[in-house]
Structure 1
Amino acid sequence: AFYGKGGIGKSTTSQNTLAALSDLEQKILIVGCDPKAVSTRLILHAKAQDTILSLAAEAGSVEDLELDDVMKIGYKDIRCVESGGPEPGVGCAGRGVITSINFLEENGAYDGVDYVSYDVLGDVVCGGFAMPIRENKAQEIYIVMSGEMMAMYAANNISKGILKYANSGGVRLGGLICNERKTDKELELAESLAAMLGTRLIHFVPRDNIVQHAELRRMTVIEYAP
């Protein structure tokens, strides 16, 4: 699972990582757990995928949906699902994550998949957003952060959530991924935070405009400029 502060680039980072994995002939399912529903758009070359919650609202309930209604196939046959969220100010987005994951399990979405990736909003580690951590849905959590204070604050909070459930389940913090924002001493700050959390800095992603160029075309970098 990929966690991180809103706007930090976790959806872009996760989709680029998964596109590279799919080039290695791995079968992948992406489960977007962010109300913005932007976890799959680079894979699908689309604006935003219809979400489980919005489709359920149209159909009447989640029980009225079929797996084919909510799952789209994108780049290199990557399977894509977005849980979505309620209208702003109404309901609980975390509850939507729980509903969506339960629906996917009941309908066999995980069959024949090598990797399942959860792309999760990490500003608020409430019960719903913590579900991949709490109920052993994810084995490894990667936190996307930068040298900015609030991004590191969110990373620390997410780590607390992982620690809370690590003993009761198999979930572990895989490491930090630093998305460079050109702040002062960013690499040193990221390495220092990783050391304090007892983890490692997996990768320091240098800022490069090619990522934005690819995003404008709704593509991953590996597809846009292989």
Structure 2
Amino acid sequence: KYANSGGVRLGGLVCNERKTDKEYELAESLAGKLGTKLIHFVPRDNIVQHAELRRMTVVEYAPDCKQAGEYRTLANKVHNNAGNGTIPTPITMDELEDLLMEHGIMPTIDESQVGKKAVEA
């Protein structure tokens, strides 16, 4: 609604891995639908929780670990992407649901059941 009048742009998406099926592919597809790109896919690593328990960042806690390297790579990508933002293409909830169904994340919806209570279905 306000995208054309404001100076804010979308530089891209960052996906924090949750270890779900087809997660990377879904993030790439969503970025494409929005007219942007997936800047970085951050892998999940339990070292994050170990650092959090100590109230530290991963880079502070274990600066030489692989996850710290991922965060450095992400920081460089974000920095190098400055000024390359776009106004995202809006998508509807139906388009988002279609995307989830395309990737097998959400079962196909039986439209005749939409809005029906459990006792009616």
TM-score relative to the length of structure 2:
0.51
Corresponding position of 2:3: 166
Corresponding position of 1:185: 22
Alignment partner of 2:12: what SS?
A: strand
Q: Deviations over 1:26-58 (max 9, x none)?
A: xxxxxxxxxxxxxxxxxxxxxxxxxxxxxxxxx
Corresponding position of 2:68: none
> Which ranges of structure 1 fall in alignment gaps of 5 or more residues?
1-163
Corresponding position of 2:32: 195
- Equivalences for residues 3-18 of structure 1 within 5 A: none
Task: Kindly tell me the number of residue pairs found equivalent between the two proteins.
Answer: 63
Structure 1: distance between partners of 2:53 and 2:24:
27
Structure 2: distance between partners of 1:172 and 1:201:
15
In the TM superposition, residue 175 of structure 1 has moved relative to its aligned partner by 1.0
Instruction: Say whether 1:221 aligns with 2:58.
Output: yes
Q: Deviations over 1:158-186 (max 9, x none)?
A: xxxxxx22211110011111010111011
Corresponding position of 2:42: 205
Alignment root-mean-square deviation, CA: 0.7
Q: Deviations over 1:79-114 (max 9, x none)?
A: xxxxxxxxxxxxxxxxxxxxxxxxxxxxxxxxxxxx
In the TM superposition, residue 219 of structure 1 has moved relative to its aligned partner by 0.6
Structure 2: distance between partners of 1:213 and 1:169:
40
Q: Highest Rg: 1 or 2?
A: 2
Structure 1: distance between partners of 2:53 and 2:26:
30
Higher relative CO (Cα under 8 Å, sequence separation at least 6) belongs to 2
Aligned structure 1 segments of 4 or more residues deviating by more than 4 angstroms: none
Contact 1:165–1:171 under 8 Å retained in 2? no
- Equivalences for residues 40-189 of structure 1 within 5 A: 164-189=1-26
TM-score relative to the length of structure 1:
0.27
Q: Which amino acid aligns with 1:178?
A: C
Greater percentage in strand: 1
Structure 1: distance between partners of 2:26 and 2:15:
10
